[in-house]
């Protein structure tokens, strides 16, 4: 069941992490709030907080606004408004790029946000990119799978969850992913969601590597 949103409010600081407060950051936050169920909205903000905390632990400097834009917009492709026909990471990256272009954000900054969103599920790739890209991957990884969880003090995690409750996140987020798979199962082919798609939508809807290779137009 989708949770009702609390009244929108801009949080200025969470667990000692300053939340960017530029007009652009506020507009991006409002967009994520408007299109996302509450559990997903809290997740994208936690992604920024957790990523920033890991960066502080590792002594990594980053452009706060740029990282925040990538974090707060990184799951637009899982929302009904922006699902589109591409895999959700690309659909979200395209939606974020259109949002930023409409606000005259420079192409080179938009490109960083696009990469941060498109690559945020790409283990072994995103973490080799510039900090604003890598940190979206890391922050989301902390929240979804506990990646780098040991680099964040327990008390700080509790402060983050007090401000941004998980709201049955494990179950709710998996259900959101299943809804996206149902909309476009073929777009999960050979991605990190392919096993889940094959289990829930069937191998006919999402061929695996073996089926893809066997269907190639060669005799052997």
| The length of the chain, given as a count of residues | 220
Per residue in 203-216, pLDDT (tens digit) is: 667 778 888 788 88
CA neighbor of 75 nearest in space, from 25, 130, 23, 33: 33
The model carries a pTM of 0.91
Domains in the chain, CATH or no CATH each? 13-168 (1.10.3210), 184-220 (no CATH)
Per residue in 68-93, pLDDT (tens digit) is: 999 999 999 999 999 989 999 999 99
- Listed range (12-21, 33-42, 144-153, 179-188) with the worst mean pLDDT: 179-188
Query: Residue 29, CB half-sphere, CA atoms under 13 Å: how many?
Result: 21
Locus of tokens 């530029």 = 22
């Amino acid at each position: 069941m989708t949770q009702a949103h609390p009244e929108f409010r801009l949080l200025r600081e969470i667990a000692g992490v300053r939340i960017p407060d530029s007009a652009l950051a506020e507009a991006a936050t409002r967009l994520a709030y408007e299109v996302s169920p509450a559990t997903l909205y809290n997740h994208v903000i936690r992604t920024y907080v957790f990523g920033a905390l890991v960066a502080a632990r590792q002594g990594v400097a980053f452009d706060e606004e740029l990282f925040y834009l990538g974090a707060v917009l990184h799951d637009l492709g899982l929302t009904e408004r922006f699902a589109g026909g591409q895999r959700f990471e690309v659909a979200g990256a395209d939606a974020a790029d259109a949002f930023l272009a409409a606000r005259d954000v420079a192409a080179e900054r938009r490109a960083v946000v696009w990469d941060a969103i498109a690559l945020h599920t790409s283990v072994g790739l995103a973490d080799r990119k510039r900090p604003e890209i890598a940190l979206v991957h890391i922050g989301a990884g902390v929240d979804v799978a506990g990646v780098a969880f040991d680099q964040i003090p327990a008390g700080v995690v509790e402060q983050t969850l007090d401000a941004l409750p998980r709201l049955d996140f494990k179950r709710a987020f998996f259900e959101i992913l299943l809804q996206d798979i149902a909309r476009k199962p073929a777009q999960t082919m050979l991605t990190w969601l392919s096993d889940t798609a094959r289990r829930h939508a069937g191998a006919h809807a999402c061929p695996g590597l073996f089926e893809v290779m066997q269907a190639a137009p060669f005799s052997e």
